[in-house]
A and B are shown apart, each in its own frame.
Chain A
Amino acid sequence: MTNLTDDHYVDSAPYDANAETSAPAHPDLDAPNWLLIWRKFRRHKLGLISAVFLAISYLMMPFAGFIAPYTPNERNADHLYAAPQMVHFFHEGKFIGPFVYPETATADLEQFRWVYTSDYDHPAKLEFFCKGGTHYFLGFIKTDRHLFCAPEGATVFLWGADRLGRDVFSRIFYGGQLSLTVGLIGITVSFVLGISIGGIAGYFGGWIDWVVNRIIEVLRSIPELPLWLALSAAVPSHWGPVAVFFIISIILGLLDWPGLARAVRSKFLSLREEEFVRAAEMMGAKPSRIIRKHLLPNFASHLIASAMLSIPAMILGETALSFLGLGLRAPAVSWGVMLNDAQNLASIEIYPWTAIPMLPVIFVVLAFNFLGDGLRDSLDPYSHD
């Protein structure tokens, strides 16, 4: 520090006048976009946990038949409404590996319900890589091997059994296959429609924009649930479960696109005003190139986030429709179909485990919301908070 006169202060640290001519000013921002997003997303703990949870859920889908001890429509007439069974390891203080106590049903004719008594003297050891009902491993390898199953004479209902004696645990895995894919197919339909219609409206503007906006407003003003009901009711009843499944996902997608189209349109409008788009126009780039090279990359990440936030709506939509008996129908298994069985309040009170399929719905929807939230926060890696 140098004080020349009373008030005149001059810093004495060395000073290099030509320090900043060619070195990048913010080397920390000098990375591809995905890396910057990842760095920021990593700090969003809830989103990260959700992403892991969803990844595991989706990865398990092809192996559902292998993990589940039973096939979805396998009935155990002797174990209607069987209560959840515990897996034990110690029998009379001795470790003997995972086992269950076999249960037998007796009808309680006074309260008119099934009562199960466990046979604590004969522990039934679980078998691994055992033979059970046939299923398709990875969807195309026909096999009857399961990860685990109960030995002869015993059952393994981890989360209980339903009205027809079907294993709730196994059915949740099978149900996930449909319930989780409904969202993906629906979002694909919604994306194709939303991006193309919103993009056209945003890029060309004028009367096209006006017409699209009015259509969106009309669609948005129709109450959603009755419209779903009407559309699903129109699905012919003789169609197979797979056809119904596809048509339901497409219906969900058809009703979801207006929101996305609006988002795309407004993003397009604002990006069009950016100078780099004007610069490309002045270089002589054609509209298709501008959309592909300049507009889409700049809001692709935004789209992914909004997709993450739309999938739960689809999953809930499927659940709601199936719950009301208008979506998927047995023998197809989805979480909504399972909940349809749990419509009777009295049976939920006596057999609360029939409502367990609500849990995966809640967890998956929450996870998608957290993930979408985390992505939205980390999408613009250049903004500082």
Chain B
Amino acid sequence: MNSQETPLLQVRDLAIGFGSGEPLIRDINFDVSRGETLALVGESGSGKTQTCRAILRILPKAARIHSGSVLLNSETGDIDLIAMSERKLRDIRGNLISMIFQEPMHSLSPLHRVGAQVSEVLCLHRGHSKRSAKEIVLQAFERVGFPEPEQVYRSYPFELSGGMRQRAMIAMAMVAKPDLLIADEPTTALDVTTQAQVLGLIRDLQQETGMAVILVTHDLGVVANCADKVVVMRNGRIMESGPVATVLDNPVHGYTQKLIAAAPSIPHEAEPTCTRVVRDPILQLENISKSFDLRGGSFLSKSTIIKAVRGVNITVERGGTFAIVGESGSGKSTVAQIALGARTSDAGGIIRFWPKAGEPPIEVQTLSPPEKRNFQRQAQMVFQDPFSSLSPRMQVIDILTEPLEIHQIGTRLERKDRAIELLEQVGLDPSMLRRYPHAFSGGQRQRLSIARALALNPSLLVCDEPTSALDLSVQMQVLELLEEIRDNLGLSYLFISHDLAVVSRIADEVAVMRRGQIVEQAAPDVLFTAPKHPYTKALIAACLEPSMDQKVDLEAVAIGAGNPDTWPESFRFTGMQAPDLVESEPGHFVRVQL
């Protein structure tokens, strides 16, 4: 790198506060040179998003920039974006600096065609006519990987998937050929395979145009794969910054070390497999299918039937963890709900539950209401979103004793003792009994959620993405807690996740789902070291790890993550027809044509 050259963007002593108080974000200093990618890393609340919003001065109303400067090196010399008038700044936004937001759903206007929204930038900043703008936009669409740019140009945002929308957003950010692209968690809302592809696209575009990129992310895996420099933030301050290789390979600050240690990763070498001999199932799903009736508004309109789950068979071992992995829409959550009897399976599906080893199973689908309540005592669920799964109007003690109250167990005092015991079990302080959920952080709330699920002493827990809404370091703690509880209390888990790395840690057996069907199923060490199915390979390849020598293999991702009818011939789905699930080796099932 040429150190004589002036950096494109210099942020100096930036301090941002909310309301009249002391600045919450302070002493922010970093440089971005042309053609360089800087990653701003931190957990939620670290101030990384506000920092990059301050560069464009699009902070929320309550926020105020206390001091500092943001110098942008343009043709006419350095300009200070903080001191600049709002009117002049408008010329810079979208022209010299573009931004991509986290949520592709909300950043495109639903009322306008995608093409019109993208060409607006050109008409506004470059004075293009509609026709010439369209040509450029079509080229950009082709560049970001749309097979039929013309069709995308005419479509509305709701017609595109999340990944497609994020591509459209990237095209929008790119058409004006900005000097600097700010990407605020551009891939957090996307599936892992899509994430890898979108990041690859940003990297390619950057090499092509020589622009600088500021990438805001909480994922060190993304940093390792994309960035040149990294800034680690915590509580509004920079903890450590420097070249990626230096920071990731030799982290000095304790916080950086902790972040790197917490990042989940997939084992690369097979560990000796402990062979399970005794088959002692606790839950068995046989031939589970679920079709949904999509109705357009009222009961007068016609319905279309969607098959969300097709012919799933799984067996959860007592004391073990069975994991289902898949992208959004793969049907994994539906399977979890069916397993708990919250939804019914289509005709032909059987769910068996063995309350105790050696006893005859009960059939969940055919239970009478009182029997079902009895079943619910033994099988509980942990939810994904810790912010919506606890009622904001209830104190911790009410939340924890509610299951006992519903099932009329114990006196008030006994219930309170149980609540204290539960809090201790999940590593929270018993003094928190009278507090409200909003006083807690995401990780603490997820612990509360787990405590509530444990209140009835269940033998089976269904965990529906229990860690995906949490910061990475907290994710690790919650996973450790789940493992500890499983081993101490002899629980069995049905674990749903989209993240192979999370699953690799906790599961005894993993099933990969796509389009409502299991495409591959095996013990994790077998699955991760010797995957057979292209989709599993894509999932593994798309996992980003915080080390410099594990780069994403985009080709493998592209093969497996595509439509199931573009898979290699022996794996291909044709319409509704899919190959059968066959046992290629003992305990290793693949959906393949032999």
A17 interface residue, CB < 8 Å from B?
A: yes
Measured in the bound complex, the distance between the Cα atoms of B3 and A188 in whole Å is: 75
Kindly state the separation between the CA atoms of A384 and B389 in the bound complex, as whole angstroms. Answer: 20
B242 touches A275 (CB 8 A): no
Chain A: minimal CB distance from B271 (Å)? 28
User: CB distance A7 to B243 under 8 Å?
Assistant: yes
A32–B456 Cα distance when bound, in Å, is 27
A283 touches B427 (CB 8 A): no
Q: Is the CB of B429 within 8 A of A293?
A: no
Determine whether A131 belongs to the interface, using a CB cutoff of 8 Å to chain B.
no
A residues in contact with B252, CB < 8 Å: 2, 4, 8, 10
- The residue in chain A whose Cβ has the minimal distance to the Cβ of B341 is A282
**0/1 interface trace, chain B 372-383, chain A, CB 8 Å (1 if under):** 110011001101
Report whether B246 and A5 are in contact in the complex, using a CB–CB cutoff of 8 Å: yes
Chain B, residues 236-253, CB within 8 Å of chain A (1/0): the string is 011111110011000011
In the complex, are the beta carbons of B389 and A275 less than 8 A apart? yes
Expressed in whole angstroms, the minimum distance between the Cβ of A46 and any Cβ of chain B is: 20
Alpha-carbon separation in the docked complex, A276 to B237 (Å): 35
Residue of B377, B403, B477 with most partner-chain A CB within 10 A: B403
A366 at interface (Cβ–Cβ under 8 A)? no
Q: Which residues of A contact B (CB under 8 A)?
A: 2, 4-11, 13, 15, 17, 20-22, 24-27, 29-33, 206-207, 210, 274-276, 278-285, 289, 293-294, 297-298, 382, 384-385
Residues of B close to A32: CB separation below 8 A: 436
A283's contact among B246, B380, B393, B444, by CB below 8 Å, is which? B380
Considering only CB atoms, which chain B residue lies closest to A273 in the complex?
B388
Q: Are B377 and A284 in contact (CB under 8 A)?
A: yes
A24 neighbours in B (Cβ, 8 Å): 432, 435, 439-441, 444
Contact A7 B229 (CB under 8 A): yes
Question: Digit string of B416-458 for contact with A (CB within 8 Å is 1, else 0)?
Answer: 0000000000011100100110111100100001001000100
Contact across chains for A22 and B427 when beta carbons are under 8 A apart: yes
B384 in contact (CB, < 8 A):
yes
Instruction: Please give, as numbers and ranges, the residues of chain A lying within 8 Å of B342 by CB-CB distance.
Output: 278, 281-282
Give the CA-CA distance A285 to B238 in the complex, in Å.
48
Q: Which of chain B's residues have a CB closer than 8 A to the CB of A22?
A: 427-429, 444
Specify which of B29, B394, B407, B439 is in contact with A29 (CB 8 Å cutoff).
B439
Q: A11-B239, A11-B253, A275-B388 are in contact. Are A30 and B436 (CB under 8 A)?
A: yes
**For residue B388, which residue of chain A has the nearest CB?**
A275
Give a binary string over B312-344; 1 marks a CB under 8 Å from any A CB, 0 the rest. Answer: 000000000000000000000000000010100
19 contacts between A and B (CB under 8 A): A4-B242, A9-B29, A11-B239, A13-B237, A22-B429, A24-B435, A24-B440, A25-B439, A26-B440, A274-B388, A278-B383, A279-B389, A282-B381, A283-B402, A284-B377, A297-B393, A297-B394, A298-B392, A382-B392
A298 pairs with B253, CB closer than 8 A: no
Q: Decide if A9 touches B254 in the complex (CB within 8 Å).
A: no
B427→A284 contact, CB < 8 A: no
Question: Pick the contact of B406 from A21, A33, A284 — CB < 8 Å?
Answer: A284
A288 to B62, CA, bound (A): 41
- State whether B438 touches A15 (Cβ < 8 A): no
B interface, size bucket? 35 or more
B254 partner, pick from A4, A5, A15, A27, beta carbons under 8 A:
A15
A26, A206, A276 interface centre (most CB from chain B within 10 Å): A276
In the complex, what distance in Å separates the CA atom of A124 from the CA atom of B29?
81
- Chain B residues with CB below 8 A from A282, complex form: 340, 342, 376, 380-381
**Cβ-defined contact, B435 with A30, below 8 A:** yes
Residues of B within 8 A of A382 (CB): 392, 438
Find out whether the CB atom of A297 lies under 8 angstroms from the CB atom of B402.
no
Given A11-B237, A22-B429, A293-B402, is A276 in contact with B436 using a C-beta cutoff of 8 Å?
no
62-82 of chain B: CB within 8 A of chain A: 62
Assess whether B275 is interfacial by the CB under 8 Å rule.
Answer: no
Closest to B455 in A: A283
Query: How far, in Å, is A21 (CB) from chain B's closest CB?
Result: 7
- Closest A residue to B456 by beta carbon equals A283
> A38: shortest Cβ distance to chain B, in Å?
15
Residue in contact with B255 in the complex, picked from A8, A15, A294, CB distance below 8 Å:
A15
Q: Is residue B150 within 8 Å, beta carbon to beta carbon, of the partner chain?
A: no
Chain B residues contacting A298 (CB-CB under 8 Å) are: 391-393
User: Is A7 in contact with B242, judged by CB distance below 8 angstroms?
Assistant: yes
Chain B residues with CB under 8 Å of A281's CB are 342
Contact A284 B373 (CB under 8 A): yes
In the assembled complex, the Cα of A285 lies from the Cα of B407 at a distance in Å of 8
B243 contacts A8, C-beta separation under 8 Å:
yes
**Residues of the B chain whose Cβ atoms lie less than 8 Å from the Cβ of A283:** 376, 380, 402-403, 406-407, 456
Q: Which residue of A lies closest to B445 (CB)?
A: A25
- Given A15-B255, A275-B388, verify A31-B436 contact (CB < 8 Å): yes
Is B412 among interface residues, defined by CB-CB distance under 8 A?
no
Query: In the complex, are the beta carbons of B439 and A27 less than 8 A apart?
Result: yes
Whether A275 and B385, one on each chain, are in contact in the complex, defined by CB atoms closer than 8 angstroms, is yes
* Cβ contact within 8 Å between A279 and B393: no
Please determine whether A284 and B229 come into contact, CB atoms closer than 8 angstroms.
no
* Residue pair A289, B406 in contact (C-beta under 8 Å): yes
Residues of A within 8 A of B298 (CB): 210
Q: Chain B residues with Cβ under 8 A from A7's Cβ?
A: 229, 241-243, 246
Which residue of chain A lies nearest to B386 when distances are taken between CB atoms in the complex?
A275
Which B214-263 residues have C-beta < 8 A from chain A? 229, 237-243, 246-247, 252-255, 258
CA distance A7 to B372 in the complex (A): 63
